[in-house]
Amino acid sequence: MKFKSGIYKKQGGYKSFYPTLLKDLDFDFHNKDINQLLEKTMLKLGELNAYAELIPDIDFFIKMHIAKEASSSSKIEGTKTEIDELFIQEEDIPLEQRDDRNEVLNYIEALNWSVEELNNIPLSMRLIKGAHKKLLAGVRGKTKLPGQIRKSQNWIGGATVNSALFVPPHPGDLPDLLSDLEKFWHSELDKTPHLIKAAVTHYQFETIHPFLDGNGRTGRLLIILYLINFGLLKKPALYLSSYFEEYRQDYYDGLTYVRTQNNLEHWVMFFLEGMILTTDDSKKIFLAILKLKEKYKNIITKNMGKRAGSSLDLLQKLFSKPVVTINEIQDLIQVSFPTASAIAKKFLELGIFQEKTGGSRNRIFELKEYLDLFRQKSLQVNKK
């Protein structure tokens, strides 16, 4: 396959990059490695989708997958929020950490809204602009035209456009480029496998850089929306950003090599390897969750006596909110404060809870073993 990534266009005192329109490219790879990775990725996605369909109350667990995706994607951009902080009340978060946390919460909101919106409209720039608007609402970047395609030149690296490492397309070129991207998604004539199109879509979107801020997070969110829109992913149970975060330099290099070396195959292989690793990891986490849930149910049934019913109700809710206070336990299962306090105390004794705070006031408890499943970095890529 002969691939040319694009050209540089002179814009006064600088040059902007104009990526080749996707309609003018052929993505018929004659590469055995890519074909094998494609086959394996489809198999892994099928397994993950089967789990997502068969596991009872799956949406309780999906919330954690979304939280991990949001946390990882935001970390790539420099935020420091850990996954457990997303479930703590804002007043319990140090002031200097709240901006980071709110950006991650916005990512969760944008992803949830977008997935739901796919029931009403197909994948489109209209949808992406809506997601971007939610992503930047009330946080750093709120003055950078949330939900609007940029009308001025942006650049990456360097103090000015003249010293930049990369200058994305001129704003005047964006309508044609974004229209081409949308047509690429929905073309019935194009027989390119959807996984290849998802990889190409992310590269092209990041190269176009259509917004003044938030392009990276929006582009990673776009991958999930693409997979769901075209039926490759049943639920947003994939946290590909965790892979991108763990291999951040490889991620940036892979995108850059497409543009600077016309090496699309390298990026596609990196993308597919990440899909395989994260689908496999997500499936393993589902299995571990089921074992953990069964373990906790047995502990509760044997040890909680007359409070076993309300304790099992709490356990179910903890899988979507694994960090709680006594007041929150009270609200979650509609019991009195003394009862909520007694359950929390017993959960601590039984090893279900671990306390995050010291002292006797404003205590915060976490479902540690469950959270640890999502905290761990277990993605191992085979380096060649």
* Each residue's pLDDT tens digit, 166-206: 999 999 999 999 999 999 999 988 889 999 999 999 999 99
Give residue 147's pLDDT.
Answer: 97
Based on the domain organization, do 219 and 354 belong to the same domain? Answer: no
Any domain includes 291: no
Band of pLDDT at residue 384, cut at 50, 70 and 90 = very low
List, in sequence order, the alpha helices (H) in 192-336. Answer: 194-208, 215-229, 240-246, 248-261, 264-303, 308-318, 326-333
Annotation-wise, does 252 bind a ligand? yes
* Each residue's pLDDT tens digit, 222-279: 999 999 999 999 999 999 999 999 999 999 999 999 999 999 999 999 999 999 999 9
Based on the domain organization, do 167 and 103 belong to the same domain? Answer: yes
Exposed, middle or buried: residue 193 (CB in 10 Å: 0-12, 13-18, 19+)? middle
DSSP-derived 3-state class of residue 210: coil
CATH of the domain at 348: 1.10.10.10
Annotation-wise, does 296 bind a ligand? no
For 233, the domain range is: 6-284
378 or 124, greater pLDDT = 124
Two tokens, residue 291:
């074992």
Based on the domain organization, do 256 and 353 belong to the same domain? Answer: no
Based on the domain organization, do 359 and 210 belong to the same domain? Answer: no
Mark which of 236, 254, 284 sits at the end of a domain: 284
Give residue 170's pLDDT.
Answer: 98
Any domain includes 299: no
Distance between CA atoms of 97 and 90, rounded to whole angstroms? 10
DSSP-derived 3-state class of residue 364: strand
CATH of the domain at 137: 1.10.3290.10
Any domain includes 356: yes
Give residue 380's pLDDT.
Answer: 58
Annotation-wise, does 256 bind a ligand? no
The answer to whether residue 142 scores a pLDDT higher than 90 is no
Annotation-wise, does 375 bind a ligand? no
Based on the domain organization, do 213 and 314 belong to the same domain? Answer: no
Mark which of 284, 319, 339 sits at the end of a domain: 284
Strand partners, 35: none
* Each residue's pLDDT tens digit, 14-34: 999 999 999 999 898 889 999
Give residue 96's pLDDT.
Answer: 84
CA 100 remoteness from chain centre: 16
* Each residue's pLDDT tens digit, 41-57: 999 999 999 988 888 88
Give residue 135's pLDDT.
Answer: 95
CA 353 remoteness from chain centre: 27
Any domain includes 13: yes
* Each residue's pLDDT tens digit, 116-129: 999 999 999 999 99
DSSP-derived 3-state class of residue 365: strand
Catalytic status, residue 209? yes
Band of pLDDT at residue 362, cut at 50, 70 and 90 = confident
Annotation-wise, does 20 bind a ligand? no
Based on the domain organization, do 141 and 91 belong to the same domain? Answer: yes
Q: What is the mean pLDDT of residues 38-42?
A: 98
User: From its phi and psi, is residue 137 left (phi > 0), alpha (psi between -120 and 50) or beta?
Assistant: beta
Give residue 53's pLDDT.
Answer: 85
CA torsion through residues 377, 102, 223, 199, sign: negative
Based on the domain organization, do 277 and 315 belong to the same domain? Answer: no
Give residue 231's pLDDT.
Answer: 96
Annotation-wise, does 101 bind a ligand? no
Based on the domain organization, do 40 and 172 belong to the same domain? Answer: yes
Any domain includes 297: no
Mark which of 284, 316, 338 sits at the end of a domain: 284
User: What is the DSSP secondary structure assignment for residue 171, as one 8-state letter?
Assistant: G
Any domain includes 201: yes
Give residue 113's pLDDT.
Answer: 97
- Quote the number of domains for the chain: 2
Band of pLDDT at residue 379, cut at 50, 70 and 90 = low
For all residues of the chain together, what is the average pLDDT?
Answer: 93
Annotation-wise, does 209 bind a ligand? yes
Annotation-wise, does 215 bind a ligand? yes
Distance between CA atoms of 1 and 202, rounded to whole angstroms? 20
Annotation-wise, does 13 bind a ligand? no
Per the listing, tokens 């986490």 go with 285
Give residue 348's pLDDT.
Answer: 96
153's CB contacts (< 8 A; 6+ apart) are 11, 16, 161, 167, 168, 170, 171
Based on the domain organization, do 265 and 338 belong to the same domain? Answer: no
Based on the domain organization, do 314 and 276 belong to the same domain? Answer: no
Instruction: Calculate the dihedral angle through the C-alpha atoms of 225, 228, 231, 237, rounding to the nearest 10 degrees.
Output: 140
Any domain includes 1: no
Based on the domain organization, do 313 and 279 belong to the same domain? Answer: no
Band of pLDDT at residue 221, cut at 50, 70 and 90 = very high
Going from the C-alpha of 228 to that of each of 119, 202, 233, the distances in angstroms are 10, 15, 5
Q: What is the mean pLDDT of residues 314-326?
A: 95
Distance between CA atoms of 22 and 200, rounded to whole angstroms? 9
Give residue 317's pLDDT.
Answer: 94
Any domain includes 381: no
**Which one is catalytic: 65, 132, 202, 209?**
209
Give residue 310's pLDDT.
Answer: 96
Per the listing, tokens 């199109």 go with 197
Based on the domain organization, do 270 and 363 belong to the same domain? Answer: no
